[in-house]
Chain A
Amino acid sequence: MSIKDDKELVELTTKDPEKGFRYLMTKYKEVVYWHIRRLVVAHEDAQDATQETFVRVFRSLSEFKGECTFRSWVYRIATNEALRLLGKYKKEKLVSLDDSFSELSNLMADEYVDYNDLEAVKLQKAILSLPTKQQLAFNLRYYNDLGYDEIAGIIGSTTDGVKSSYHIAKDKIVKYMNANN
């Protein structure tokens, strides 16, 4: 049996939960993991947030009313999970002055980073130096090829706002990359 679209996937999950779940994971686990990983950087954090995303998706499948596409809904949950995790770390940083957590320091400390790929590491550093909204707009457009309107739905912004964030982000990245050449 092949699944043509997400509507069928949702229906299948209701009828045969395990089969539906496997299709859901086959289709989304990698994109969701990498979307989260680009935001939180550390592999273990990305793993936790991805697992939590899919548990939430599966748990609230019956609440999905089709007001947006299923893909946008999944991305929104994933984005919220990643931001929730980052927010938790930032809160901890406020109460502990010794803890100098940041996504950038994560990038330098994580076991699962190929430091030999200097240009790719530098590009991630450039992206991580951006404000969250610009990071999200850039990542979802550049890496996930999503439309501005879909990104707007995911991050709770307007289409024009996302376009603007994306172009500002792109300019800043180019400047960063050229300055640190």
Chain B
Amino acid sequence: MKRNFDFDRIGKRLPYTVPDGFMDDMENNVWETVRQEMLPSKPKRHFHLWYSLTGGLVAASIALFVVFNLLPDDSKSNFEDVEKAFANLSSSDQDYLFATYQDDLFMKF
């Protein structure tokens, strides 16, 4: 005769097993993972900033090199022209210019 199934007969029994020490090992595995996540991360190098700064410095160096070495140096001839023009002025005009610009910061050498 067939027996009707009765939940009470079996209760909460499961056929499943686990390896020895599994629960503790699992706990430690999880802790290791979360502990690693909690550690302060190493400060990140700001490569973007470094690249920008280096690029800026290189660009500035090239610009200075071009200004002082490659462009035609006509400052000397310009100064001679100014001296000639000044010599052509009357003495009163020369006195006026001296009086006006002798304290000018940008005219001092």
**B3 and A142 contacting across the interface, CB-CB below 8 Å:** no
- A residues bordering B, Cβ < 8 Å? 17-18, 21-22, 25, 29-30, 33-34, 37-38, 41, 43, 47, 50-51, 54-55, 58-59, 110, 112-115, 117, 119-121, 123-124, 142-143, 170, 173-174, 177-178, 181
Minimum C-beta distance from B87 to chain A (A):
84
One of B11-19, B78-86, B101-109 contacting the partner: B11-19
Q: Which residues of B contact A174 (CB under 8 A)?
A: 4-5
Chain B, interface residues (CB within 8 Å), range: 20 to 34
Minimum C-beta distance from B36 to chain A (A):
10
The answer, yes or no, to whether B74 is at the interface (CB within 8 Å) is: no
Q: Known contacts A25-B27, A51-B29; decide if A38 and B14 are in contact (CB<8 Å).
A: yes
CA distance A45 to B21 in the complex (A): 17
**B3 and A181 contacting across the interface, CB-CB below 8 Å:** yes
- B residues bordering A, Cβ < 8 Å? 2-5, 7, 9-10, 12-19, 22-23, 26-27, 29-31, 33-35, 37-38
**B23 and A43 contacting across the interface, CB-CB below 8 Å:** no
**B17 and A178 contacting across the interface, CB-CB below 8 Å:** no
Give me the 10 closest cross-chain CB pairs, A-B, nearest first.
Answer: A177-B5, A120-B15, A54-B30, A121-B15, A112-B17, A117-B15, A25-B27, A58-B34, A114-B15, A181-B2
> Residue of B at shortest CB range from A178?
B5
CA distance A25 to B28 in the complex (A): 10
> Residue of B at shortest CB range from A61?
B34
Minimum C-beta distance from B69 to chain A (A):
60
**B10 and A120 contacting across the interface, CB-CB below 8 Å:** yes
CA distance A37 to B10 in the complex (A): 18
Give 14 A-B pairs besides A33-B23, A47-B22, A51-B29 with Cβ atoms closer than 8 angstroms: A25-B27, A33-B26, A37-B16, A38-B16, A51-B26, A54-B34, A112-B18, A113-B16, A114-B16, A117-B13, A120-B13, A120-B15, A121-B15, A181-B5
Q: Known contacts A29-B26, A43-B16, A43-B18; decide if A178 and B10 are in contact (CB<8 Å).
A: no
